Structure 1
């Protein structure tokens, strides 16, 4: 009995530092942010003034907030299509149809964008989108699509989608590599049995590959949705939220409210909304994954 208590005490001593760090640097800031969202205060305020739900009511009547939220939702939908759906298809094709040597080369090519700094990638695509010397407009002109040439980052209708396109280019290689690792862990006997039963490549993909990489898919869905609602750097580097706030996302509008408008309470309310959305998306996916695990 004494030895068991001593073992638990020793284990607690090892766990305590990590637990303290998590409480101090993760949970305490979250709780403090939620608390401050019920106050009106600025960086120069002598003391925060309680305003109840006024900051959240202001969110409901703020057109830029709703524009930013819509941009984040669009960001999440496009990211799910490319970083999860297309990445899974691409990984399956590479594993099924590409030889080992070429597969290794393609892995490297696809993964290179993921290791490039987001700032460098944003500046690179700024150059590509330049309306006068950018390669995008030059390519359109070369193939006879001159009517489609315009200022991609300067147009309110295309600015946010241009930023999202850059993000997909940078991220899809990383998620493809993760799917390839998951596919490699599937027993080859399953595909051989499916082939004997007359299943082709496409049918095998849907009845074997997709179900067997479900855990990786759940993880990437959570990470992708969270990343879409936490987007900040790419927008700040490429557009700064413009033109006319058309490419604002929740992260950049939070920054604008806190450090340009000096409305810290309002910014804290935006941060709380981001936290609730990302937490809800993660919990829903994890609950669904747990239910599927129990059913099987």
Structure 2
């Protein structure tokens, strides 16, 4: 009878995850458009095209840039912020700052894109105006129109929105740490920095793993930010794998090749997750 309790979850997973995944592998072997009645068998030709697709190389590089920068800001800095807010010195003002840092998470990505589009505006944007105000006007540029800075401008938008979510997860993990560990470390003469690295970081290892996994997999799937702000431009300088897949499928009407790109995203994300699970060693008995 216990299998009946698992049945709803299995049905949902099969319907929305496993069956579409198998269908996607099947579609990658064909050449077809959205409204075509027939599909043309091409075998592995889509994968051969993928190996010579220079846009894929740029997109993968941007996804990895996204992942590296996001791990630093959304995990490392979020952990530091959580530690500071849970310090007894900031206990009275901590609830206020938790709300402040978490508020961007609740805002629509479209609204945030409009906001940052105004901030990055080269003529009247807040960023260039601020640089002029502090005497660094020569560093101002069309942030979204420059092929060098576009991807980093897009990444910055995501950090501002997401860091509060990661911070809240760390706050919950820190609150579960026994106070006796901090008291013992303090009696041994450990300062705040030493207590952070010797007590907090080891005790929130599981939370670090979860947040890093969420951040890296999210970086491999990122779509909204580059699509809304730059649509992958200028040129292909800020394109990601998800944006490239969308453009191939719904702009160029090449659904077979778009399915191939989706497979690459899935395999890459799965490999990174498995590597991280193996390296972290979480869930194992000590």
State the TM bucket, normalised to the shorter chain. over 0.9
Cα distance, 1:51 vs. partner? 1.7
Q: CA deviation at 1:14?
A: 3.8
- Residues 157-168 of structure 1 mapped to structure 2, 5 A cutoff: 157-168=148-159
**Does structure 1 residue 294 correspond to structure 2 residue 273?**
no
Give, in whole Å, the separation in 2 of the partners of 1:97 and 1:52: 63
Aligned to 2:226: 235
Q: CA deviation at 1:293?
A: 4.3
Q: Does 1:107 align with 2:74?
A: no
Number of residue equivalences: 286
Structure 1: gaps (5+ residues) = 1-7
For residue 250 of structure 1, what is the aligned residue in structure 2?
241
Q: Does residue 96 in structure 1 map to residue 87 in structure 2?
A: yes
Report the CA distance between 1:50 and its aligned residue.
Answer: 2.0
Alpha-carbon distance in 2 for matches of 1:118, 1:97? 34
CA 1:293 to 1:233, structure 2 compared with 1: closer, same or farther past 3 Å? closer
Aligned to 1:284: 275
Q: Distance in 1 between matches of 2:180 and 2:5?
A: 43
Residue equivalent to 1:3:
none
The 3-state SS of whatever aligns with 1:101 is coil
Partner of 1:59: 50
**Normalised by the size of structure 2, how large is the TM-score?**
0.96
2:221 and 2:73 map into 1 onto residues whose CA distance is: 18
Contact kept? 2:221, 2:242, Cα under 8 Å: yes
Find out whether 1:73 has 2:64 as its counterpart: yes
Structure 2 distance, partners of 1:202, 1:85, is 14
Residue pairs, 1:112-151, within 5 angstroms: 112-151=103-142
Whether the 8 Å contact between 2:154 and 2:229 is mirrored in structure 1 is: yes
| 1:54 positional shift | 1.5
Matching residue of 1:45:
36
Residue 273 of structure 1, aligned match among 240, 264, 274: 264
CA displacement, residues 98-117 of structure 1 (integer Å, 9 cap, x when unaligned): 43221111001000011001
RMSD across aligned C-alpha pairs, in angstroms?
A: 1.4
Instruction: Give the match for residue 4 of structure 1.
Output: none
- SS at the partner of 1:106? helix
Matches of 1:98 and 1:157, distance apart in 2:
42
In 2, Cα distance between the equivalents of 1:249 and 1:121?
19
CA distance in 2, matches of 1:13, 1:106: 45
Change (3 A) 1:292 1:24: closer
Note if contact 2:174-2:204 (Cα within 8 Å) is conserved in structure 1.
Answer: yes
Matches within 5 A, 1:217-228: 217-228=208-219
